[in-house]
């Protein structure tokens, strides 16, 4: 009986809809399985790493299936739970399965093909009809076998060699090929051992010592150091890392090389982990106070009845200790915990606290890690000994958990949980709840300032709700005051970013040996520069936005596309030399502080100062150790920081937070100001918070002063119900991009008109967003408001309509992005 032909459905990491079926070669039949990575050809030349989502015997009916090129895994890299989760994410966030795969897998697990050229099989070696450059390229390719276009460009000293290579392809001297590159390579270290023959013969070893003492004392010294480090004894020698030996013997490289050449010492390369493993060092378990113990009991009771519980605890109320106790209880049952943070690079304190209690059981996963490190975490989670506690940012949701039982989403309100570009544009908080439901796990959401949607769900009984309204150890909430900038400006007492009352308060805090945090949610020195004569403002050449002035590099920058320009000496429009710097950024605040307090140690923490891998950790550690007196930063300084000596917090510009064109502006302003206020006065004494504003009676500022989150909820829910916004409806934002503005306007009107014909939704737009052009693409937004009960059906109607519209001539050059639940 003939063996049945097998086919596989493969998810390919591309934004291409559809199902891609490949035929399984006979020699690979026993290797294929759901979740295994495979190498497939897509299109005429490209090769990609895909993941098998199904194995079956049904051939495609509309085309001839290509063969799988290779099977890359001996065991599945992706679990069936992950595949179900990817399918949900693709469906809910209206993107392709390939886009989810692209986001989920570390780059090192995705082989890529690079375009190379090789000699055409029909080439006869005749170079007579070629010029000198062409002949040189052909000879180089013959010598190397294959060359990339970059290698050819470097050889002939040209930026682009497409035309040159194309001419040689026409002459049938060269041809394109695809070379597959393995991106992940295990880290190896060289280890040294005494040869087995000498290790087994003590007399021969002594004789060797005697000879080397007279003729090769340096080699003897190196050998003796090696034996000391390897603990020579009855059990034989233990391998010694070469770098460890050379650290003790700085000038011993030559002697060591000779020992290896003589066969006295044996070299071996071994695979080692890139991950730092630490043993637990907590001498005592977590001791909860009475309020924390009661909150823990309430959380456990809530999770017994519901899948999700919101822990609403004021800043410094001890939520982290409750999380640790929940994890301890779960580890006794051998279950896994995912502990999520909005930006893990900012929360070194939480990392250390978890490692202190759980040691090697703790794994870390975030974008600041190198890709090989991320691959190692993935492989460890997919092994027989996975991490029991995984601390991660939003991408940690995609890891292969074996027995996930609890997900903790700390600072659940934070907007960093939302992925904006590229697709999938998912919210990690909401997606974590779905993952937990699929895995049979529970979810704890924690925040001092919960999102309106989260608190609404808790009040409606969908989530459990536990409140901690007192700080740990009886510490008082900070005293919050406003500084009215209007009389300050009228009396001309303020010229820079800081008012006289704020400067005086900083001086008093420093005199009392207290630390200060200043929050300004805009980086750079000034938001823009303007000619005093003609009012000209330099703009980005690729985006419809003014350029931000960065004084430390003395240039103008676009924060959307990265375009930079030199700071002009005169106005390019009228040639005036009177250029004003307007708007306040963190650099300007830092400069003013250095002028006002020359003896203080001032450090800035924003995107410009924290690009290096460990920059966040270094700044936070120095601030903890009181090596920094004043910390100036963007919203980075509001997130998850716990310091003992902060006596004063200053909000430099509250008005900027309140005037954003967003229905969530008041909620976010409250969250940012309340969170940064919570950094003050955490140990023993009440801290002080000063908010600079031109609207001291603004209702949101009044709510911040009273720490009245319930009042914010009441205000926001009334407004959102009146104007039909979440949590009472769901939003879907459609963004159209085109290089030509007129063509985009036509396409946007066609899309909006078509969507208005669909039932059960409100269509707003098309409208020009606040920044109407980014990277030379003009943008138009269309906002859909859809009832929660009808969401799935209405989204399907939208997807079908957009699929049909994409075939229209007016939309063929238009890029369409879909953002479900935009933030």
Summarize pLDDT for 566-612 with one digit per residue, the tens. 999 999 899 999 998 888 999 999 999 999 999 999 999 988 888 77
- Helical axes 97-104 vs 80-92, angle rounded to 10°: 120
Whether 505 and 643 share a structural domain: yes
Q: 282 falls in which pLDDT band (50, 70, 90)?
A: low
- Which of 689, 718, 747 terminates a domain? The answer is 718
Higher per-residue pLDDT: 555 or 638: 555
Whether 628 and 686 share a structural domain: yes
Residue 588 counted as domain residue: no
Whether 129 and 236 share a structural domain: no
Q: What is the pLDDT of residue 652?
A: 94
C-beta separation of 366 from 393 below 8 A? yes
CA distance 352 to 464: 29
CA distance 584 to 518: 13
Whether 498 and 606 share a structural domain: yes
- Helical axes 217-230 vs 202-215, angle rounded to 10°: 140
Whether 487 and 555 share a structural domain: no
Residue 160 has pLDDT above 70, yes or no: no
Q: What is the pLDDT of residue 428?
A: 97
Higher per-residue pLDDT: 204 or 508: 508
Q: What is the pLDDT of residue 1?
A: 36
CA distance 760 to 319: 42
Q: 148 falls in which pLDDT band (50, 70, 90)?
A: confident
SS (H, E, C) 437-456: HHHCCEEEEEECCCCHHHHH
Describe the strand order of the beta sheet including 240-241 as a list of residue ranges.
Answer: 240-241, 187-194, 265-272
- CA 265 to chain CA centroid, Å, is 45
Q: What is the pLDDT of residue 631?
A: 95
Domain limits for position 239: 196-263
Q: 10 falls in which pLDDT band (50, 70, 90)?
A: very high
- Which of 473, 491, 513 terminates a domain? The answer is 473
CATH number at residue 768: 3.30.70.600
Q: What is the mean pLDDT of residues 340-357?
A: 80
Residue 376 counted as domain residue: yes
Residue 73 counted as domain residue: yes
CATH number at residue 54: 3.40.1440.60
CATH number at residue 486: 3.40.50.300
Whether 157 and 206 share a structural domain: no
Whether 40 and 30 share a structural domain: yes
CA distance 101 to 114: 20
C-beta separation of 174 from 165 below 8 A? yes
Summarize pLDDT for 755-768 with one digit per residue, the tens. 999 998 999 989 99
**Structural domains of the chain, count:** 7
CA distance 96 to 423: 9
Q: CA angle, corner 11, sides to 7 and 17, nearest 5?
A: 110
Q: What is the pLDDT of residue 388?
A: 95
Q: 11 falls in which pLDDT band (50, 70, 90)?
A: very high
Residue 275 counted as domain residue: no
Whether 207 and 248 share a structural domain: yes
Residue 257 counted as domain residue: yes
Q: Kindly state the DSSP code that residue 529 receives in the 8-state scheme.
A: E
Summarize pLDDT for 82-106 with one digit per residue, the tens. 999 999 999 999 999 999 999 999 9
What percentage of residues in the chain have a pLDDT greater than 90?
53
Whether 603 and 710 share a structural domain: yes
Q: What is the pLDDT of residue 491?
A: 87
Q: What is the pLDDT of residue 281?
A: 60
Summarize pLDDT for 710-761 with one digit per residue, the tens. 999 999 999 999 999 999 999 999 999 999 999 999 999 999 999 999 998 9
Residue 283 counted as domain residue: no
Q: CA angle, corner 705, sides to 703 and 708, nearest 5?
A: 40
Whether 173 and 322 share a structural domain: no
* pTM: predicted TM-score of the whole model, two decimal places: 0.83
Whether 174 and 122 share a structural domain: yes
Whether 663 and 607 share a structural domain: yes
Residue 667 counted as domain residue: yes
Average pLDDT, the chain: 88
- Which of 59, 84, 111 terminates a domain? The answer is 111
Residue 563 counted as domain residue: yes
Residue environment code for 642-652, b if the CB has 16+ CB neighbours within 10 A, otherwise e: bbebbbbbbbb
Provide the β-strand partners of residue 498.
none
């Amino acid at each position: 009986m003939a063996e049945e032909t097998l086919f596989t459905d493969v998810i390919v990491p591309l934004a291409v809809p559809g199902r891609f079926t490949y035929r399984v070669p006979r020699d690979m039949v026993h290797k294929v399985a759901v979740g295994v990575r495979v190498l497939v050809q897509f299109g005429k030349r490209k090769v990609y790493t895909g993941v098998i989502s199904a194995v079956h015997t049904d051939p495609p009916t509309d085309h001839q299936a290509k063969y799988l090129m290779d099977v890359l895994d001996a065991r599945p890299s992706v679990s069936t739970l992950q595949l179900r989760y990817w399918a949900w994410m693709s469906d809910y966030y209206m993107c392709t399965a390939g886009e989810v795969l692209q986001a989920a897998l570390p780059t090192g697990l995705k082989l890529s093909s690079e375009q190379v050229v090789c000699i055409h099989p029909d080439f006869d070696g005749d170079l007579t009809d070629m010029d000198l450059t062409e002949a040189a390229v052909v000879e180089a390719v013959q010598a190397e076998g294959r060359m990339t276009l970059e290698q050819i460009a470097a050889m002939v000293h040209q930026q682009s060699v497409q035309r040159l290579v194309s001419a040689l392809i026409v002459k049938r001297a060269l041809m394109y090929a695809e070379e597959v590159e393995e991106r992940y390579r295990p880290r190896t270290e060289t280890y040294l051992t005494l040869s087995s023959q000498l290790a087994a013969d003590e007399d021969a070893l002594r004789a060797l010592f005697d000879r080397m003492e007279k003729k090769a004392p340096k080699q003897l010294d190196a050998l003796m150091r090696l034996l000391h480090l390897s603990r020579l004894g009855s059990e034989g020698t233990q391998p010694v890392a070469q770098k460890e030996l050379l650290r003790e013997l700085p000038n011993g490289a030559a002697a060591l090389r000779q020992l290896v050449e003589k066969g006295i010492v044996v070299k071996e390369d071994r695979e080692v982990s890139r991950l730092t493993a630490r043993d637990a060092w907590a001498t005592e378990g977590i001791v909860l106070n009475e309020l924390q113990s009661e909150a823990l009991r309430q959380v456990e009771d809530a999770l017994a009845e519901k899948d999700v519980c919101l822990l609403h605890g004021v800043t410094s109320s001890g939520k982290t200790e409750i999380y640790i106790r929940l994890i301890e209880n779960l580890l006794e049952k051998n279950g896994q915990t995912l502990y999520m943070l909005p930006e893990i690079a900012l929360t070194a304190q939480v990392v250390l606290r978890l490692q202190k209690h759980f040691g090697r059981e703790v794994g870390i996963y975030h974008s600041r890690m190198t890709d090989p490190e991320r691959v190692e975490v993935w492989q460890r989670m997919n092994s027989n000994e996975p991490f029991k506690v995984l601390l991660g940012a939003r991408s940690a949701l995609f890891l292969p958990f074996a027995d996930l039982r609890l997900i903790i989403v700390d600072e659940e309100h934070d907007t960093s949980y939302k992925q904006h570009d590229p697709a999938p544009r998912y919210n990690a908080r909401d997606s974590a709840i779905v993952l937990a439901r699929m895995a049979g796990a529970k979810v704890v959401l924690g925040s001092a300032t919960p999102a309106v949607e989260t608190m609404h769900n808790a009040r409606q009984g969908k989530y459990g709700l536990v409140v901690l309204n007192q700080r740990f150890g009886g510490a008082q909430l900070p005293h919050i005051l406003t500084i009215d900038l209007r009389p300050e400006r009228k009396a001309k007492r303020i010229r820079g970013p800081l008012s006289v009352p704020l400067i005086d308060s900083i001086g008093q805090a420093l005199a009392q040996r207290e630390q200060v945090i200043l929050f300004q949610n805009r980086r750079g020195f000034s938001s823009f520069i303007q000619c005093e004569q003609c009012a000209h403002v330099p703009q980005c050449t690729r985006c419809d936005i003014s350029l931000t002035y960065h004084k430390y590099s003395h240039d103008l920058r676009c924060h959307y596309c990265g375009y930079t320009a030199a700071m002009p000496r005169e106005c390019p429009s009228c040639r005036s030399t009177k250029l004003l710097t307007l708007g306040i950024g963190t650099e300007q605040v830092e400069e003013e502080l250095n002028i006002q307090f020359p003896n203080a140690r001032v450090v800035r923490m924003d995107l410009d100062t924290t690009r290096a891998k460990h920059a966040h950790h270094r700044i936070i550690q120095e601030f903890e150790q009181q090596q920094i007196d004043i910390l100036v930063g963007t919203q980075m300084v509001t997130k998850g920081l716990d310091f003992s000596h902060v006596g004063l917090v200053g909000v430099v510009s509250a008005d900027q937070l309140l005037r954003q064109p967003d229905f969530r502006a008041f909620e976010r302003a409250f969250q940012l100001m309340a969170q940064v206020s919570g950094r003050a006065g955490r140990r023993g004494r009440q801290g002080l918070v000063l908010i600079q504003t031109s609207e001291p009676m603004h209702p949101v500022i009044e709510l911040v002063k009273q720490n009245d989150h319930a009042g914010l909820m009441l205000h926001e829910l009334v407004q959102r119900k009146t104007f039909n916004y979440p949590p009472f409806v769901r939003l879907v934002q459609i963004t159209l991009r085109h290089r030509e503005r007129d063509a985009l306007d036509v396409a946007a009107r066609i899309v909006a008109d078509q969507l208005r014909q669909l039932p059960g939704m409100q269509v707003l737009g098309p409208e020009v967003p606040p920044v109407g052009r980014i990277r030379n693409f003009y943008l138009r937004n269309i906002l859909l408001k859809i009832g929660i009960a009808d969401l799935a059906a209405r989204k399907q109607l939208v997807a079908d309509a957009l699929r049909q519209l994409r075939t229209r001539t007016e939309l063929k050059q238009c890029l369409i992005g879909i953002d479900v639940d935009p933030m």
